[in-house]
């Protein structure tokens, strides 16, 4: 969410940013919020003047009564009552205006970084760099669920009977591999200086609206019936929410946290054939990283965060690339975002396995996350990035480590988490 003062002083900048994001339907919101802001300030000025006048004339009542001027005193009382009524009316309108203003301000997208490429959607994202040599073996690589089934590692039919489509049972060595990747990712981030955290898996509505746009909320979140609670779609929501309404001493920055959680997502809409199996599902587990820092340090932390994911995948010998998200592919709160994509030897292309985002002070403004520094209080910057989400990571891992005989190699760094196993054998 933008600062209303910034919108007031830079309306054309805000409008051009909306055009750059190809959201022209929101252009009228800028003029609307400016009108609401003007009305709000005028109401405050009138209320302040009325209160000052009321206080001034109220003092006359006692003096007039003391002088026996009852009729004049009664007239002054009527003026005071009229002022009080007008103040009440204005205060009610002020509340309505501020609620409408806040609602509209939360729909206007954040100002994107000047380095973000302009494009309509993810088809116009820009490749930044490749890491590792993508390899296509001279034998056929089955679909990822077929690989898992050869290890008796997945049961989709039982999951459909129990919970419906979009769920799965992981079994045996595949389930163990899933947990091993999560544990390895946890220790990988701890070794990079991040503090490990297991957060609440449900959050209140004020945290939800603080960390994401209304459109994202509707598309992603599951609400708990009869409660002001939502299941988290990613632990970033809960982790950033940890700092709601907090004033952080500047010397305690940056806050660097890595968190484990299950994630729950509606995943609305139809999906292609490559998104069957465990690619796009309603429930999965993930290791996340978040940073709360000084504004001037957020670009540096942004580069560190996506590099962590690249380094983790390369430590498992999985080729990856980074993509700069274009303007039309950025969620409304994001200033800048880079996707990390892993190589799929079966598809002979890369696919998304993580996303790194700098949200500037947008979440901090909504959640009132402030920093107490030498020059006073200011809003923090927040960033987040996927360390690893095993469902998609499993796809990349199995395809890139599959042997022609159907076995899957376990990289050396992961072997301690697999009880010393060097290969997963078919059953």
Q: How far is CA 294 from CA 195, 241, 367, 377, in A?
A: 18, 17, 16, 11
Do 268 and 126 sit in the same domain of this protein? yes
Whether 280 is catalytic: yes
Whole-angstrom distance, CA of residue 258 vs CA of residue 235: 9
Q: Please calculate the CA angle 199-215-100 and round it to the nearest 5 degrees.
A: 100
Residue 114 within a domain: no
- Residue 256 and residue 300 in contact, taking contact as beta carbons nearer than 8 Å: no
- Residue 141 neighbours by CB under 8 Å, 6+ apart: 147, 345, 346, 399, 402
CATH of the domain at 49: 1.10.287.40
Please provide the DSSP assignment of 56-89 as one string. HHHHHHHHHHHTT-HHHHHHHHHHHHHHHHHHHH
Per-residue pLDDT of the chain (427 residues; tens, 9 = 90+): 899 999 999 999 999 999 999 999 999 999 999 999 999 999 999 998 888 877 777 667 666 666 777 777 767 778 878 888 888 999 999 999 999 999 999 999 999 999 999 999 999 999 999 999 999 999 999 999 999 999 999 999 999 999 998 899 999 999 999 999 999 999 999 999 999 999 999 999 999 999 988 778 888 899 999 999 999 999 999 999 999 999 999 999 999 999 999 999 997 654 454 446 788 899 999 999 999 999 999 999 999 999 999 999 999 999 999 999 999 999 999 999 999 999 999 999 999 999 999 999 999 999 999 999 999 999 999 999 999 998 899 999 999 999 999 999 999 999 999 999 999 998 7
Our CA dihedral for 388, 394, 400, 401, rounded to 10 degrees, sits at 110
Whether 321 is catalytic: no
Whole-angstrom distance, CA of residue 1 vs CA of residue 116: 18
Catalytic residue among 238, 327, 355, 357: 355
Whole-angstrom distance, CA of residue 353 vs CA of residue 133: 17
Query: 155: left (phi > 0), else alpha (psi -120 to 50), else beta?
Result: beta
Residue 313 within a domain: yes
pLDDT given for residue 379 in this prediction: 98
Do 215 and 312 sit in the same domain of this protein? yes
Residues forming a β-bridge with 338: 324, 356
Whole-angstrom distance, CA of residue 377 vs CA of residue 118: 34
Residue 247 within a domain: yes
Residue 280 within a domain: yes
Do 232 and 341 sit in the same domain of this protein? yes
Three-state helix/strand/coil letters over 280-321: CCCEEEEEEEEEEECHHHHHHHHHHHHHHHHHHHHHCCCCEE
- The number of folded domains in the chain is 2
Residue 110 within a domain: no
Whether 392 is catalytic: yes
Do 182 and 274 sit in the same domain of this protein? yes
Residues forming a β-bridge with 340: 322, 354
Look at residues 79, 105, 131 and tell me which one is the last residue of a structural domain.
105
Do 235 and 328 sit in the same domain of this protein? yes
Do 201 and 291 sit in the same domain of this protein? yes
pLDDT given for residue 270 in this prediction: 46
Whether 176 is catalytic: no
pLDDT given for residue 61 in this prediction: 67
- Using alpha carbons, select from 115, 113, 114, 126 the residue that is nearest to residue 335: 113
Q: What is the pTM of this model?
A: 0.89
Whether 370 is catalytic: no
Whole-angstrom distance, CA of residue 190 vs CA of residue 256: 10
Do 227 and 373 sit in the same domain of this protein? yes
Do 300 and 364 sit in the same domain of this protein? yes
Residue 405 within a domain: yes
Token code pair at residue 335: 């200033």
Catalytic residue among 100, 216, 267, 352: 352
Look at residues 105, 138, 156 and tell me which one is the last residue of a structural domain.
105
Do 382 and 267 sit in the same domain of this protein? yes
Look at residues 48, 80, 105 and tell me which one is the last residue of a structural domain.
105
Cβ atoms within 10 Å, residue 202: 16
Catalytic residue among 265, 346, 365, 366: 265
Do 69 and 142 sit in the same domain of this protein? no
Backbone angles phi, psi at 36, to 5 degrees: -65, -40
CATH of the domain at 364: 3.30.930.10
Query: 163: left (phi > 0), else alpha (psi -120 to 50), else beta?
Result: alpha
Do 264 and 363 sit in the same domain of this protein? yes
- Residue 64 neighbours by CB under 8 Å, 6+ apart: 70, 72, 73, 76
Burial of residue 127 (CB within 10 Å: 0-12, 13-18, 19+) is exposed
Catalytic residue among 280, 285, 297, 315: 280
Range of the domain at 51: 4-105
Residue 308 within a domain: yes
Residue 54 within a domain: yes
Do 164 and 277 sit in the same domain of this protein? yes
């Amino acid at each position: 969410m933008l600062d209303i003062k910034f919108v007031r002083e830079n309306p054309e900048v805000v409008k051009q940013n909306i055009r750059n994001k190809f959201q022209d339907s929101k252009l009228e919101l800028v003029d609307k919020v400016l009108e609401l802001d003007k009305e709000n300030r005028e109401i405050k000025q009138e209320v302040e003047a009325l209160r000052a006048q009321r206080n001034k004339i109220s003092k006359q009542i006692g003096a007039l009564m003391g002088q026996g001027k009852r009729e004049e005193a009664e007239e002054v009382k009527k003026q005071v009552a009229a002022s009080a009524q007008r103040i009440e009316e204005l205060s009610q309108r002020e509340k309505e205006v501020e609620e409408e203003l806040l609602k509209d301000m939360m729909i206007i997208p954040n100002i994107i970084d000047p380095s973000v490429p302009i494009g309509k959607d993810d088809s116009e994202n820009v490749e930044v760099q490749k890491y590792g040599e993508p390899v296509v073996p001279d034998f056929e690589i089955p679909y990822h669920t077929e690989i898992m089934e050869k290890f008796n590692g997945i049961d989709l039919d039982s999951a459909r009977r129990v919970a419906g489509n979009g769920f799965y049972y992981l079994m045996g060595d595949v389930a163990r591999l899933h947990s091993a990747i999560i544990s390895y990712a946890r220790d990988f981030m701890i070794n990079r200086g991040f503090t490990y955290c297991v957060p609440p898996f449900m959050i209140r509505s004020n945290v939800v609206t603080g960390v994401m746009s209304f459109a994202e909320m509707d598309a992603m979140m599951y609400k708990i019936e009869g409660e002001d609670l939502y299941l988290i779609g990613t632990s970033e929501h809960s982790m950033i929410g940890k700092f709601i309404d907090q004033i952080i001493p500047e010397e305690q920055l940056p806050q660097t946290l890595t968190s484990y959680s299950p994630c729950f997502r509606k995943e609305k809409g139809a999906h292609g054939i490559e998104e069957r199996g465990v690619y796009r599902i309603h429930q999965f587990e993930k290791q996340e990283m978040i940073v709360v820092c000084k504004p001037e340090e957020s670009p540096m932390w942004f580069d560190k965060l996506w590099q962590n994911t690249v380094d983790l995948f390369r430590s498992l010998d999985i080729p990856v690339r980074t993509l700069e998200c274009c303007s039309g592919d950025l969620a409304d709160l994001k200033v800048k975002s880079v996707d990390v994509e892993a190589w799929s030897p079966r598809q002979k292309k890369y696919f998304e396995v993580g996303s790194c985002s700098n949200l500037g002070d947008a979440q901090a403004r909504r959640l009132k996350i402030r920093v107490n520094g030498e020059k006073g209080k200011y809003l923090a910057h927040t960033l987040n990035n996927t360390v690893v989400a095993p469902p998609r990571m499993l796809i990349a891992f199995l395809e890139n480590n599959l042997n022609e005989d159907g076995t899957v190699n376990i990289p050396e760094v992961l072997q301690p988490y697999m009880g010393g196993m060097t290969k997963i054998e078919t059953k």
